[in-house]
Chain A
């Protein structure tokens, strides 16, 4: 395996292809016997209210600097909630992604499998989808649309204006 020149980031927005092995390597530690990984993959078919719909490709846009700060905050929240979690890595890709490619990858390392790695990994993807400034544009043969996630009232600017 190549030894990178600089320490690998644990929370990263990148336009480069993602790999589960890479994320697992970033959290690997000699005192950790358990690593849980999650990959979110671009789906070729989505069930909608109008029936099944085929996606040609997705385009992801991120507010990169803020998104990386928010990812690191998710890491902090995980360590508060599951203190035995030793390392968390969350990577999200931007730009054009084809069906079958991973758009997000998460890895969580703990000393033992009962130390919260499964729960923390689930928590990370749910928090990412709610609060990290990344947007998905669905593209079909006949057009494209930006997808808006469910509104989180506590984040909405107009809530008290």
Chain B
């Protein structure tokens, strides 16, 4: 089956692309997709990094099964808003 992978922020820059189709065996889960991405794009390291994933724009876990045509988005912890809490003392 074929799914669409979308990357954002750091991950998009590491990979050098924002969106790409990915071929997976039927029955593959989110975790299987992450492992396949790491195999094809070793610089991504999505299996070991702290990331969030969304399937068809809903947050998802690694165990979630994927379907033909799904949109799998992978991104770092979000940092919207204005104040920069992450680096505040």
Evaluate contact between A146 and B13: CB separation under 8 angstroms.
yes
User: With a CB–CB cut-off of 8 A, which chain A residues contact B81?
Assistant: 40, 103-104, 125, 128-129, 134, 136
Interface size class of chain A, counting residues whose CB lies under 8 Å from the partner chain:
35 or more
User: With a CB–CB cut-off of 8 A, which chain A residues contact B57?
Assistant: 63, 65-66, 69
- A151 is an interface residue with CB less than 8 A from chain B: yes
Known contacts A43-B83, A160-B61, A49 near B89 by CB under 8 Å: yes
Known contacts A157-B60, A160-B61, A161-B31, A148 near B86 by CB under 8 Å: yes
- By Cβ-Cβ distance, the 5 closest A-B pairs, closest first, are A40-B82, A161-B62, A134-B80, A135-B9, A66-B57
Q: A49-B89, A156-B51, A157-B74 are in contact. List 11 more A-B contacts (CB 8 A).
A: A47-B88, A60-B80, A61-B9, A63-B75, A66-B73, A103-B82, A135-B9, A135-B80, A136-B84, A150-B86, A157-B52
**Residues of A near any B CB (own CB < 8 A):** 40-43, 46-49, 60-63, 65-67, 69, 92, 102-104, 125, 128-138, 146-152, 155-161
